């Protein structure tokens, strides 16, 4: 686990797990010590250690693809609540809560605004941390393009619309933290949308 980002209200840690190098992020409220884990991807023993070390109370899934949910049963067994969108809920072995679009998830004093961004999966969701330049994008937006849409339930036109209408309207200095790989910003990616349309992926 490494400290990935911090400001006056939040500490964000990142752990890379599993055969597909999934990013698992923990957002921790600096005022209350309460935290949430994003994507119980793999290597459940490491994730359980991380949860205990950082004050995690809940698990929020960006989408239901198998490489992002391998540790869900073990984390639920340990008492952590798992939330996912209704559209992707049937992809999980089990879950506790449904995430809805354009609502606020509270993590201590932190406020996470949910943004439904279908296309990679029907229920892919991004999370915008209010008051900090942070967007957790799951597999919707990466440096250099959108997420893969060749899997069942994926749709290229849909993900482009999601990114264009839901994400590229956000501030340009927003740091995009994706489900795999390195960070980018809204401002770095937005000018390239037409290139992605033209290349077809």
Per residue in 37-54, pLDDT tens? Answer: 999 999 999 999 999 999
Share of the chain above pLDDT 70, in %: 100
The per-residue pLDDT for 72 is: 98
Asked whether the predicted pLDDT for residue 1 surpasses 90, the reply is no
Architecture of domain 2-199: 4-Layer Sandwich (3.60)
Distance CA 189, CA 122 (A): 22
Nearest Cα to 21, choosing from 181, 200, 135? 181
Asked whether the predicted pLDDT for residue 167 surpasses 90, the reply is yes
Q: pLDDT digit string (tens) for 11-24?
A: 999 999 999 999 99
Share of the chain above pLDDT 90, in %: 100
Q: pLDDT digit string (tens) for 90-120?
A: 999 999 999 999 999 999 999 999 999 999 9
Residues 6+ apart with CB under 8 A from 79: none
Domain map (residue ranges) of the chain: 2-199
pTM of the model: 0.97
Asked whether the predicted pLDDT for residue 62 surpasses 90, the reply is yes
The per-residue pLDDT for 54 is: 95
pLDDT-derived band at 35, boundaries 50, 70, 90: very high
Mean pLDDT of 160-165: 98
pLDDT-derived band at 70, boundaries 50, 70, 90: very high
Q: What angle do CA 68, 60, 4 make, to 5 degrees?
A: 80
Mean pLDDT of 162-170: 98
The per-residue pLDDT for 30 is: 98
CA 56 → CA 94, 108, 119, 145, 161, distances in Å? 19, 10, 29, 31, 33
């Amino acid at each position: 686990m490494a400290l990935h980002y911090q400001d006056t209200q939040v500490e964000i840690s990142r752990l890379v797990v599993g055969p597909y190098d999934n990013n698992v992020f923990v957002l921790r409220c600096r005022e209350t010590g309460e935290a949430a884990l994003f994507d119980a991807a793999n290597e459940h023993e490491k994730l359980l250690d991380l949860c205990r070390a950082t004050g995690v109370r809940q698990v929020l899934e960006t989408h239901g693809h198998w490489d992002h949910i391998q540790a869900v049963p073990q984390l639920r067994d340990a008492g952590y609540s798992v939330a996912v969108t209704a559209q992707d809920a049937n992809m999980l072995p089990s879950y506790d809560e449904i995430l809805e679009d354009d609502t606020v998830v509270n993590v201590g004093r932190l406020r996470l605004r949910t943004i439904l961004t279908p296309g990679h999966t029907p229920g892919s969701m991004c999370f915008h941390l209010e008051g900090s330049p942070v967007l957790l994008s799951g597999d919707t937006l990466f440096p250099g393009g959108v997420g893969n849409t060749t899997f069942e339930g994926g749709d290229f036109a849909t993900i482009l619309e999601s990114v264009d209408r839901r994400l590229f309207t956000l501030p340009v200095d927003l740091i995009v933290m994706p489900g795999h790989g390195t960070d980018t910003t809204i401002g770095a990616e937005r000018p390239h949308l037409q290139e992605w349309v033209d290349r077809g992926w």
